[in-house]
Amino acid sequence: MLLGIFLPASHWESVVFPSRISGYRKEDLDLLCATGDVRWLGCKDDGQKEGRIAFFSWGSGWDQNALYDMSLPVGKPSRNEDTLRRLRDKGASFMASLFLDGRTSGQQMLDILFELVWTGHLSNDQFAPIRHHVEPSSRRHSPLKSAVGRWYATSNSTGNGEDSAKTNVERERDGLAHFVRQRLLQYGLFCRAMFTDADFDYVTARGALFKLEDMGIVTRGLFVSGISSVQFANRRFVARLLSPSAEATETTLVSAMDPANPFGLFLPWPNMAGVTFARKPGNYLVVRKGRWLMWVEGVGRRMTSLGDDVAGVTEAVLNQVLQTLVRTYGMRKIRMDLFNGVPIQDSSVGPWIERLGEEKTGKSYVLWSLNRRR
């Protein structure tokens, strides 16, 4: 469902994979890249602080390969055409073999390689270079860790050789089809608000969606409140709305940055006094029975129950939220200050946290991950 979706590079291993793969290990992703089962592309638009990465699988079907080809930077120039030309000619190469003279330092060569990465012209047979590159400088022991693996020109690994012969109109048509398909797979529905950062025109896409409706692949309606425009949903999404699965009864902690979170993308945030909603690290949504139950800010510093279902925030739910923050998202220390705007020791959840044996600090509680892992 996330193939071909470009997300901030640091989000994949801090948010997306750990929340979906129990016991996720970084070396497993490197192995999938090294064996050729998975490949990645980078992009970084002007003004963006962090580059984005999308993953693609090598598939025998046209859709798998075409999705990759549609994401390649056709006609997009690079400031380092000489290096790119050498890589096209040599094939996959280690960074050490790219030095032509002694005047280029290791850091200068890395800067060249990552300029090619963020323009979509270059990739690597591991994810490790991206992982080390996006690490905070305080944790980056050696910048040359970003040089591991073999670098290759993305134009040498196209999955569909016929794509280069297509006209711009054909490429745009196919790109639009894949954009619509990926959003339907990711969210189950499609609406106008999803075109905020898209390269396609909504009026053109609507025509394609009407054709899908005629074919019985999607249906049109108003399925989700808060979205004022008409929505197109696939059959699976509509069926899940009508008959929620057993999974909907579980408590789930979703990072505010996760692509599964529609708020701040095509749904507006709630308007609540004293609460700051934002898609940023450390913020989470607690979902239970298909409803947004609680909002967590600052890795637990401020917790707020949503709607009228205050009773839904039980001791078991709170305990599960804390366990997930420690075990899934790797938090070492969680400081809890406020619940529904009240100092947490004086709030309705204070006695529960005290029974959990957490450390008191003034009117706050502090949870240490070592105590939770035992």
Two tokens, residue 221: 């309606």
> Does residue 165 surpass a pLDDT of 60?
no
Kindly report the average pLDDT of the chain as a whole number. 82
Could you tell me which of 44, 103, 49 has the C-alpha nearest to residue 78? Answer: 44
Taking the C-alpha atoms of residue 314 and residue 221, their distance in angstroms, rounded to an integer, is 35
CATH number for 250-373: choose from 1.10.3470, 3.90.640, 2.60.40, 3.40.630: 3.40.630
Report the 10 Å Cβ neighbour count for 349: 21
Taking the C-alpha atoms of residue 370 and residue 98, their distance in angstroms, rounded to an integer, is 45
Contact 78, 155 (CB under 8 A): no
> Does residue 370 surpass a pLDDT of 70?
no
Give, as one character, the DSSP assignment of residue 222. -
**CA 189: distance to chain centroid?**
18
pLDDT value of position 374? 46
pLDDT in tens, 84-140: 988 888 889 998 888 755 567 788 888 999 999 999 999 999 999 999 998 876 666
Residues 6+ apart with CB under 8 A from 139: none
Q: Is the dihedral of CA 333, 339, 341, 344 positive or negative?
A: negative
Domain limits, CATH 1.10.10, in the chain = 166-242
Taking the C-alpha atoms of residue 333 and residue 27, their distance in angstroms, rounded to an integer, is 25
Average pLDDT over residues 186-207: 73
pLDDT value of position 360? 87
Contact 254, 285 (CB under 8 A): yes
54 three-state secondary structure: strand
> Does residue 74 surpass a pLDDT of 50?
yes
| CATH T-level fold of 166-242 | Arc Repressor Mutant, subunit A (1.10.10)
pLDDT value of position 120? 93
> Does residue 128 come out as left (phi exceeding 0), alpha (psi in the -120 to 50 range) or beta?
alpha
- Which stretches of the chain are DSSP H helices? 11, 17-20, 26-34, 62-70, 81-90, 106-118, 128-133, 168-187, 202-214, 235-242, 315-327, 350-355, 369-373
Tell me the pTM: 0.77
Two tokens, residue 359: 């450390």
Confidence of residue 372 (pLDDT cuts 50, 70, 90): low
> Does residue 63 surpass a pLDDT of 90?
no
Taking the C-alpha atoms of residue 231 and residue 325, their distance in angstroms, rounded to an integer, is 34
Average pLDDT over residues 231-256: 78
pLDDT in tens, 141-156: 666 677 789 999 998 7
pLDDT in tens, 273-309: 889 999 998 999 999 877 889 999 999 999 999 876 5
